Amino acid sequence: MKRFLTAITLAAPLALAAAASAQQAEKAPLVVAVVDGGKLTQTAKAMKSAQEEAEKLAKRFDADFTGEQKKLQGEYQQLEKDRLKITGQEYDQRLQRLNARFAEVRRTAQIRQEQMARAVRVVQLQFRNEVVKVIQAMAVESGYTLVIEKSALLHAAAALDITDKVLERLDKSQVQVKFEFPPKAEPGAPEAPATPAAPDKKPPAAPAPKKTN
C-alpha cells in the first residue's frame, strides 16, 4: 500500500495562454515550455507530506486487517480441533459465524481501500490546481504562450524544461494539499457512498474448513 500516491499527470498537453488580448496573442511569437508533472509530484514538499500521511494510515489499516485475519485463522483451527467434541449442528453454527465475520473483515478492508483511492484522487486534484496556478503566473511573467506536460512529448530540448523553476516556486509559496480520510467528494463530483471495491492486491484469505457430514 505504499503506492497510494502515484505520479500525477497534468493535463496533456497543458496549454496556458498569457494574459493578453486575442490580437496580441496572434502577433506574439510562440514561446514553449515543458513541465514534468511526475517529477513535481514526487519531489514537491506538499506532496511528500500528503504521501507520508497516506502511507501512515495505509500501514495501520494493513496491520488491522492482518491482525483480524490471524485471529480468525486461529478460531478456524480451534473449530477443527473441537470438531469431534461437539455436535454437527454446533459445528455448523460456529462455522457460519466465523465465515460471516471473515466476510465482514474483507468487506471493511475493501471499503477502506476504495476510500483511500478516492482520498488520493482528491489530493492529486488539489495539487494539480496549485501547479496550474503557479504555471499560469510564470507564463505571464516569462511570456510563455504554450506550456506542455512532458509525458505528452516525444522529444523536447532540455532548455525548454521549467520543472525545477515551477518546483522552486511551489515550495517557496508553501503550497499545501491535505490528505483527508474519510475523503470528501471529489471536486465537481457528487458525494459517492462508500461501496466495496476489489483492491488491486488482496491479502490471502483465511482457509475455511469445508463442511462434511
Three cell numbers at 27?
A: 502577433
Give the domain CATH number at 85. Answer: 3.30.910.20
52 sits in which H/E element:
helix 45-82
* Contact (Cβ atoms closer than 8 angstroms) between residue 130 and residue 177: yes
pLDDT, one tens digit per residue, over 74-100 is 999 999 999 999 999 999 999 999 999
Asked if the structure places residue 1 within a domain, the reply is no
Beta-strand pair 32-35/146-149: parallel
Comparing 150 with 19, the larger pLDDT belongs to 150
pTM of the model: 0.68
Residues 123-164: pLDDT tens digits?
A: 999 999 999 999 999 999 999 999 999 999 999 999 999 999
Query: Does 156 fall in a domain?
Result: yes
Domain around 109 = 22-172
Closest CA to 197 of 115, 121, 104: 115
pLDDT of 93 reads: 96
Asked if 186 and 118 count as a contact pair (C-beta separation under 8 A), the reply is: yes
Q: Please, which pLDDT band fits residue 174 given cuts at 50, 70 and 90?
A: confident
CB 20 within 8 A of CB 143: no
Note whether residue 85 is domain-resident: yes
Q: Which of 205, 208, 117, 131 is nearest to 168 (CA)?
A: 131
Domain count, the chain: 1
